[in-house]
Amino acid sequence: MGNIRIFDTKAGQVVDFKPLRPGRFTMYYCGPTVYNYVHLGNLRPVIVFDILTRLFKAEGYQTKVVSNYTDIDDKIINEALEEKKTEREISSFYIDAYQDSLAKLNLLPLFYRPKASEVIEKMEGFIGVLLDKGYAYKAGDDVYFRTSRIADYGSMSHTIIENNQAGKRIEVNDLKESPYDFALWKKTADQGIKFDSPFGRGRPGWHTECVVMIKSVFGQPMVDVHGGGFDLKFPHHENERAQSIGYDGTPLASYWMHVGFLTAAGGVKMSKSLGNVVLAKDCLSRYSGNALRLFFCQSHYRAPIAYSDEAMEKAEADGRRYVSTLQKLEYRAEWLNTDLNGAKPDAEVLSKALGFLADDLNVANALTVLERQVRVALTILRQLRPRPEDLRTSYATLAGLYDFLGIKFDHVALSVDGREEMEEFEKAHSEHRFDASDELRADLIKKGIL
């Protein structure tokens, strides 16, 4: 297992990764609130954390990754009222829509995708413990978390916490002891779903579900990495961490990783009011999953990335070129009766690419390695009958590199016609019938065989 370095938001720098348990990698990242179609920015962490998981797998770790669905939320209730449907209908419709998008991304399967509605009782128990320990208090009909009990509250997200002095209130709420305190349970009289709890009939706040899921699904109080988009650092992740410290004294995650924003062209914020939001489903109906992956790979995961059709077209073309190069190796190997099964990659090349990925996911440098191997493959393919070992090594190396980044490729097989055309081409070429061989070459190139 090589050394893996990642940027930890709390440390504020790139640090050496040390697993909680040797050889195991556990990660949780926050999933969508399922009240509408997710916008494309929501898929960036999904792809980044998939590549991170692939890195840990390649380094020999056993991986366990979980992400949730927030299926209880005011936004869902409002959407249900508007569409005259039940909340359940709304959330399951948008969960399906989200999964349709994910299915196009060639993602490693997650260990589990819990829903908030599955852990209501666990949340009640959790909040009860926080109340018993004095980390939470009842205010009116609601239960709040007492942030003043957490000595380093704000330290993970580097948020400066101002003392709540009289006259300097950030937010007016007479019931809260501090403006930073947040609701763990809210009593509601609205038309939305409500649950009976020891603290009254109502709903849990948003910040509790992930903490409870982590502690129950992983069978341990914390994970190695907790991730999400930049926007989740504060208050969401800071509040998750605070609750975990209150509950069992652990900070919930060894490392906190946050993924940069997707912006519109020119770095303009995507927003509903500007009408420039790109929905995941719309992007994926125009472009392939490979294209989206490679688009996100064009920028370091912590930096913002600007969406544009030009950038997507380029990513699409790159993806096609990668896949077709690999397929040409398959066609050629089949024509030459070279068995690609069990082919060994160039270990030095793979370890170089892994080394870049292990450096806080330096995907740009890994892609440089990949591009070089694509050129190597094309050079090998320039000979009509390359050495079988060259074909095999090039194939296994490319396939290995594609796997690191999750680039999907379909296997191809040479048809009888294709085989005959290759034979004819070789014959025409060797007999110096250049008009015929040029024509055949052009046709074989068009078919992606040559």
Q: What is the binding site for Zn ion (CB under 5 A)?
A: 30, 210
Min dist. Cβ of residue 29 to Zn ion (A)? 8
Nearer to Zn ion, 30 or 326 (CB): 30
Written as six digits, the tokens of 222 are 């914390």
Min dist. Cβ of residue 398 to Zn ion (A)? 37
Nearer to Zn ion, 150 or 444 (CB): 150
Min dist. Cβ of residue 396 to Zn ion (A)? 39
Nearer to Zn ion, 39 or 293 (CB): 39
Min dist. Cβ of residue 209 to Zn ion (A)? 7
Q: Helices then strands (H, E): number in the chain?
A: 14, 12
Cα separation, 259 vs 6, whole angstroms: 12
Q: Which one, of 39, 34, 101, 36, lies nearest residue 274 by Cα?
A: 39
Nearer to Zn ion, 255 or 356 (CB): 255
Nearer to Zn ion, 8 or 330 (CB): 8
Helix axes 309-335, 289-296, angle to 10 degrees: 120
Cα separation, 15 vs 21, whole angstroms: 17
Do strands 183-187 and 24-29 pair parallel, antiparallel, or not at all (unpaired)?
A: unpaired
Nearer to Zn ion, 210 or 277 (CB): 210
Vertex 342, ends 340 and 343: CA angle to 5°? 60
Min dist. Cβ of residue 270 to Zn ion (A)? 21
Q: Enumerate the H helices of 138-237 as residue ranges.
A: 209-217
Distances (CA, A) of 198 to 127, 128, 195, 246, 295: 10, 8, 10, 19, 49
Cα separation, 308 vs 440, whole angstroms: 38
Min dist. Cβ of residue 92 to Zn ion (A)? 20
3-state secondary structure of 182: coil
Nearer to Zn ion, 30 or 43 (CB): 30
Min dist. Cβ of residue 229 to Zn ion (A)? 11
Min dist. Cβ of residue 284 to Zn ion (A)? 24
Min dist. Cβ of residue 350 to Zn ion (A)? 34
Min dist. Cβ of residue 141 to Zn ion (A)? 25
Nearer to Zn ion, 210 or 315 (CB): 210
Q: How many residues does the chain have?
A: 450
Amino acid code (one letter) for 387:
R
Amino acid code (one letter) for 128:
G
Those residues whose C-beta lies under 8 Å from the C-beta of residue 297, and which sit 6 or more positions away, are 51, 315, 363, 364, 367, 405
Nearer to Zn ion, 87 or 240 (CB): 240
3-state secondary structure of 95: helix
Helix axes 309-335, 416-430, angle to 10 degrees: 80
Nearer to Zn ion, 30 or 370 (CB): 30
In sequence order, what are the beta bridge partners of 227?
29, 257
Q: Which one, of 410, 407, 411, lies nearest residue 289 by Cα?
A: 407
Does the bond joining 221 to the residue before it have cis omega, within 30 degrees of 0? no
- The residue written with tokens 């840990």 in the block is 56
Nearer to Zn ion, 244 or 290 (CB): 244
**Buried-state track 20-36, b at ≥16 Cβ within 10 A, e below 16:** eeeeebbbbbbbbbbbe
Min dist. Cβ of residue 63 to Zn ion (A)? 19
Helix axes 416-430, 434-446, angle to 10 degrees: 150
Min dist. Cβ of residue 163 to Zn ion (A)? 27
Q: Which letter does DSSP use for residue 19 in this model?
A: -
Q: In what order do the strands lie in the sheet with 223-229?
A: 62-67, 24-29, 223-229, 253-259
Nearer to Zn ion, 185 or 322 (CB): 185
